[in-house]
Amino acid sequence: MANAQLDTDAVHDRRAAPPSPDDASRPLVEAVGAEVELVCLDRVERAYVDLDCAASTPSSVAVAAAVDQFLPTYSSVHRGAGFKSRLSTAAYENARHLALEHSGRGGGADTAVICRNTTEALNHLAFRLRLERDDVVLTTVVEHHANLLPWARYARRRYVECRTDGTFSVEDVVAGLDARPAPKVLALTGASNVTGWLPPVDEICDAAHARGVRVVLDAAQLAPHRPVPAGPDFIAWSGHKMYAPFGAGVLVGPFSAFADGEPFLAGGGAVELVDLDEVLWTDPPEREEAGSPNVIGAVALGAAIEELGTIGWDAISRHEAALAARLRRGLDAIDGVRLLGPPPEVETLAVATFTVEGMHHGLVAARLATEFGIGVRHGCFCAHPYLIRLLGIGRDGIATARSQVLRGDRRHIPGAVRASAGLTTTVADVDALLAALRLVISGSPPPVDYVQDEVTGDFFPASDRSGWWSPEGGAGGGCARG
Ligand SMILES: Cc1ncc(COP(=O)(O)O)c(C=O)c1O
Q: Quick check: 462 and 469 in contact, CB under 8 A?
A: yes
| Least confident segment among 78-87, 153-162, 166-175, 382-391 | 78-87
Which whole number is the average pLDDT over 74-86? 90
pLDDT tens per residue, range 237-272: 999 999 999 999 999 999 999 999 999 999 999 999
Query: Over the range 139-164, which residues count as b (16 or more CB within 10 Å of their CB) and which as e?
Result: bbbbbbbbbbbbbeebbeebbbebee
Examine the pLDDT at 472 and tell me if it is beyond 80: no
Q: Which atom of ligand 1 is nearest to the CA of 190?
A: 1
- Atom 12 of ligand 1, nearest CA residue: 220
Strand (E) or helix (H) holding 38: strand 37-39
Q: How far apart are CA 338 and CA 387, in angstroms?
A: 13
pLDDT at 233: 98
CA distances from 373 to 99, 251, 354 (A): 35, 36, 19
> Ligand 1 centre from 216 Cα, in Å?
14
Q: Which atom of ligand 1 is nearest to the CA of 240?
A: 10
Among 143, 381, 382, say which to mutate for ligand 1: greatest number of ligand atoms within 8 Å of CB: 382
Q: What are phi and psi of 328, to 5 degrees?
A: -75, -40
Q: Which atom of ligand 1 is nearest to the CA of 382?
A: 14
> Ligand 1 centre from 76 Cα, in Å?
28
pLDDT at 14: 42
Examine the pLDDT at 10 and tell me if it is beyond 80: no
> Ligand 1 centre from 213 Cα, in Å?
23
pLDDT range class, residue 332, cuts 50, 70, 90: very high
pLDDT at 428: 97
> Ligand 1 centre from 468 Cα, in Å?
28
pLDDT at 12: 43
Among 123, 144, 386, 387, say which to mutate for ligand 1: greatest number of ligand atoms within 8 Å of CB: 144
Pocket of ligand 1 from Cβ distances under 6 Å: 55, 117-119, 144, 146-147, 189, 193, 218, 220-221, 238, 240, 249, 382
Segments of 317-362 assigned E as strands? 337-339, 351-356
Please state, rounded to an integer, the average pLDDT across all residues of the chain.
92
Measured on CA atoms in the order 385, 387, 392, 397, is the torsion positive or negative? negative
Which residue, among 186, 196, 189, 170, has the nearest Cα to 54 in the 3D structure? 196
Which whole number is the average pLDDT over 399-405? 91
Q: Which residues contact 474 (CB under 8 A, 6 or more apart)?
A: none
pLDDT at 80: 81
Angle formed by the axes of helices 170-178 and 201-210, nearest 10°: 20
> Ligand 1 centre from 118 Cα, in Å?
6
Indicate which residue of 162, 380, 382, 479 is catalytic.
382
pLDDT at 463: 78
More confident residue, 166 or 23: 166
Q: Which residues contact 431 (CB under 8 A, 6 or more apart)?
A: 11, 326, 330
pLDDT tens per residue, range 60-73: 999 999 999 999 99
pLDDT at 468: 67
pLDDT at 475: 44
Active site residue 382: yes
Examine the pLDDT at 477 and tell me if it is beyond 60: no
pLDDT at 81: 87
CA 173 to chain centroid, in Å, comes to: 23
Phi/psi class of residue 57: alpha, beta or left (left: φ > 0; alpha: ψ in -120 to 50)? beta
Query: Over the range 441-470, which residues count as b (16 or more CB within 10 Å of their CB) and which as e?
Result: beebebbbebebbeebbbbbbebebbebbe
Q: Which atom of ligand 1 is nearest to the CA of 189?
A: 1
Segments of 77-163 assigned E as strands? 110-115, 136-140, 156-160
